[in-house]
Amino acid sequence: MKTIGIDIGGANTKIASADGEIIELHYVPLWKDTRLPEALEEIAEKHSPDRVSVVMTGELADCFEDKMAGIKFIMESVKQAFNCEIRYIDSNGHFYDGSGDLRKLAAANWAASADLIGSEIGDCIFVDMGSTTSDIIPIKSGKHMAGITDFSRLIRSELFYAGVLRTNLAYLLDSLDLASGKCRVSSELFATTADVYFLLGDISEELYTCETADGAGKSKTDAMRRIARVVCADLTEISPDEIYRIAEQVREKQVILLSEAIAQVAEMNELSTIVSAGLGEFLIRAAAKRLGFEWISVAQRWGEEISKVFPAYAAARMFEADVSARNDKDIV
């Protein structure tokens, strides 16, 4: 019996099997097209799963009137694609039984991850940094202690809205130190964190899966040109050394902001161990070091590829564990 987990985000749809043998990431930007049904049908045809466990965050995409419309679109897309048992995980880390508030399915991918981390590692702050956001989830006695909506988690610093690929550099900082002095930055979407981390060698071109800010290429020269625009310059006005200097300041500022959010969650919950997952494990590691916290890597424990799609993997594992528990109960 093949069980797969699917994490349907606003930009990426990730899948993983419970045994870790299937790991895929599909760039499906919900806000600009409606390819999700077709993408899911392709996944169903390719893998023919017997069970599907679904988590989602894509309901917030601004193509939907509200979260409920997004949830219903995603659920209908899944229903049309898969002819097997389908289950959804809510923000309490429970399987949705078809009754109650459907909104509990919104932005619940981290709850599946927290369930697996809580059962296998224990008390910690689980930090998962993806392309767009960073979840900062306190876990105690095997259960997450986080707010159950993105809104509540933003208030509690359990959601840091910055990631490795799609974050506008202007969100992270308002000025830069250059050789000629302190320079304010433009608030246009000229460059994203993908340009910075690709230029610095923290991610490969293969991991630069999102679109570029200017629709141009993904070479280092392209990335440098986009970063130069952040200070309203081009490659004739600013040197490569200065562009690398900008990139390093962006990385440092993102680590500082992430550290501040983690520190707030740590103080509120009296925790000092960080478990990291996602594309941004290198940034989480730096934040843990800055804070002097113990650091445990999902990539080291389960593998680098699983770390990148951890909510999907955790969702699949959660479904298999539930099936096993039901079977054991029937035997007794």
pLDDT band, residue 99 (cuts 50/70/90): confident
pLDDT at position 329 is 62
For residue 29, pLDDT beyond 80: yes
Mean pLDDT of all residues in 163-171: 97
pLDDT at position 323 is 83
Q: Are 257 and 286 in contact (CB under 8 A)?
A: no
% of the chain exceeding 90 in pLDDT: 92
Comparing 93-107, 171-185, 196-210, 222-236, the range with the smallest average pLDDT is 93-107
> How many angstroms separate the CA atoms of 104 and 107, rounded?
8
For 284-318, the pLDDT digits (tens) are 999 999 999 999 999 999 999 999 999 999 999 99
Q: Are 165 and 186 in contact (CB under 8 A)?
A: no
Q: Are 97 and 121 in contact (CB under 8 A)?
A: no
Mean pLDDT of all residues in 30-55: 93
For 268-289, the pLDDT digits (tens) are 999 999 999 999 999 999 999 9
314 token code pair: 């955790």
pLDDT at position 58 is 95
Sign, CA dihedral 312-313-316-321, equals negative
75 token code pair: 């659920």
For residue 326, pLDDT beyond 90: no
pLDDT at position 330 is 61
For 63-81, the pLDDT digits (tens) are 999 999 999 999 999 999 9
* Beta carbons within 8 Å of 167's beta carbon, 6+ residues apart: 132, 161, 192, 193, 254
> How many angstroms separate the CA atoms of 288 and 56, rounded?
28
Mean pLDDT of all residues in 122-140: 97
pLDDT at position 32 is 82
Phi, psi of 154 (to 5 degrees): -60, -40
pLDDT band, residue 169 (cuts 50/70/90): very high
The residue length of the chain stands at 332
Report the chain's mean pLDDT, rounded to a whole number. Answer: 95
For residue 86, pLDDT beyond 90: yes
298 token code pair: 């999902």
For residue 332, pLDDT beyond 60: no
Residue owning tokens 């002819």:
83
pLDDT at position 215 is 96
Q: Are 92 and 104 in contact (CB under 8 A)?
A: yes
pLDDT at position 104 is 93
* Beta carbons within 8 Å of 258's beta carbon, 6+ residues apart: 127, 129, 134, 160, 162, 283, 284, 287
* Beta carbons within 8 Å of 91's beta carbon, 6+ residues apart: 104, 105, 106, 107, 108, 111, 148, 149
Mean pLDDT of all residues in 313-326: 90
pLDDT band, residue 328 (cuts 50/70/90): low
